[in-house]
Amino acid sequence: MTFSDFNFKETLNQAINNAGFKEPSPVQANAIPLILEGHDLIGQAQTGTGKTAAFGLPVIQQMSGDKGVEALVIVPTRELAMQVSDELFRFGKTAGLKTATVYGGTPYNKQIDRIKQANIIVATPGRLQDLLMSKKIKLNPSFVILDEADEMLDMGFLDEIKNIFTFLPQERQTLMFSATMPKQIKILAEQILNNPKSVTITKSERTNTDIAQIFYVVADYERDDALLRLIDYKNPNKCIIFCRMKKEVDRLSSYMTAQGFKVAALHGDMEQKQREHTIRSFKQGLVEIFIATDVAARGLDVNDVSHVFNYHIPFDSESYVHRIGRTGRAGNKGEAITLVSPNELRTIKRIEKDVGTVMVSEVIPTRQEVQTRKDDDLLSKIANTEVSSSAKEMVKTLQHDLDIVTIAHLLATIVQKEIDVKGKDIIGLGTEEVKALIERAKNFKGGDRNGGRGRGRNRSRGGARRRSHGGRGRNSDHRSGGNRGSRNGGKRNKN
């Protein structure tokens, strides 16, 4: 199936081509025909499956563009509002459709002016309710979409949602998308939807098969060192590090900045302008590492995130699914990496069971393994680099005093110093220790929600206990502090 099978109007097909879309995702293939037929819809699918296009394309197809606000999309967070609005604008601009984004923290008057000019509104519940109750705006949309309904429930917006619908017309097409379907969401659906059709992603499909899921067992005090070594080993193009608490985001951001990384942080205490600037910098590639709480787990639409790191494993399975859904998007491959303590291994097994996935245990690479990877990457880069005229002139100048072999040795030494590996050589548990702990987790019959209390650290720090997997090179670096070498003005040296 291709998007041409939906018989969209030419302006919409042009927008789809401009976006680089080829084949519809499962949720798109199933939802779009039902929406085009005029049905109300309940779509159960996790983030990253293409839900915005699943409702945006068929809704835009049916819009006339000359009736004021025809579509209203309600989302839980400001970040998601901006992302959805941007994507709907991409789809609708070839048809001359305008979008307005409505959320708290910005002046009312500016948003009201934009609403008056808009065909599509994307809004968060709090600000939208304020505008409707104060009678600053009046809406008569033909299409109403609730996106990430379960997240709005978790954030305590259920009453606001119910109240908002009292201001909306009875004659409308209503679409609801949610990753999970708790009882309250089902009750809400019965109240606001009319004989809805359903599109459901089954449990076995809930995690993207393009995402490799890996976990590493480390002591709590080793998390920083392990994270930095893994980042140097994986050398991500762009990655997100998820923390549980805002104070962890701030501390880790300061720590990694001090180590020479170009990072950006996002959490709920930041002012709106700062949040918008941070997200824009990450999307534009001005920063490569994004450190965030779960506020960014939903709706952060960046297709080139190669890795997601869970600094701590999330408390629940749904948060895990939403976090790792930030990578492996738009047909790209991705990796989701989780750091766990020995006491958290039972949480790993619980999430695997809940989500229907398998996480692979690996061992933190040694310092030598990291250096080997860096050397291999450097050799590959040299072999594929086109020689510039200025480089030729430099070598000619050096040849007056040195032979060509000595010049090559000196330049290679300078480059290697830029990527020199520092830090402790032993981090985390060895392969056999991890296997033994996993077996204990499988057989565990009791304990609290977080896996119970450990029975001592039971750790061997000897180098002999560390084993790398046969046939797999370990190339990652770990740093415990000190200088990381020049990073060319804060940008990581990708040798």
Q: Of 93, 60, 99, 51, give the one whose Cα is nearest residue 299.
A: 51
Mean pLDDT of 49-70: 90
Find all residues with CB under 8 Å of 416, minimum gap 6, and list them: 375, 378
Convert the pLDDT of each residue in 378-412 to its tens digit: 777 777 777 778 877 877 787 777 778 777 777 77
Task: Mark out the alpha helices in 337-495 (DSSP H runs).
Answer: 345-355, 367-383, 389-398, 404-418, 431-443
For the chain, give the percent of residues with pLDDT over 70.
80
| C-alpha span between 432 and 363 (Å, rounded) | 10
Per-residue confidence at 127, pLDDT binned at 50, 70, 90? Answer: very high
pTM as predicted: 0.55
State yes or no: pLDDT of 104 exceeds 70.
yes
Find all residues with CB under 8 Å of 397, minimum gap 6, and list them: none
CATH number at 3-201: 3.40.50.300
State yes or no: pLDDT of 12 exceeds 70.
yes
* Neighbour-count burial of 360, counting CB atoms closer than 10 A to its CB (0-12 exposed, 13-18 middle, 19+ buried): exposed
Q: Which residue ranges make up each domain of the chain?
A: 3-201, 208-495
Q: Of 159, 83, 90, give the one whose Cα is nearest residue 101.
A: 83
* CATH fold match for the domains 3-201 and 208-495: yes
- The HSE-up count of residue 127 (CA atoms within 13 Å, CB side) is 24
State yes or no: pLDDT of 453 exceeds 80.
no
| C-alpha span between 23 and 20 (Å, rounded) | 10
pLDDT of res. 320: 87
| The Cα angle at residue 242 between residues 486 and 27, in degrees rounded to 5 | 120
Q: Of 6, 34, 30, give the one whose Cα is nearest residue 196.
A: 34
CATH for 208-495 (3.40.50.300, 2.40.50.140, 3.40.190.120, 3.40.250.10) = 3.40.50.300
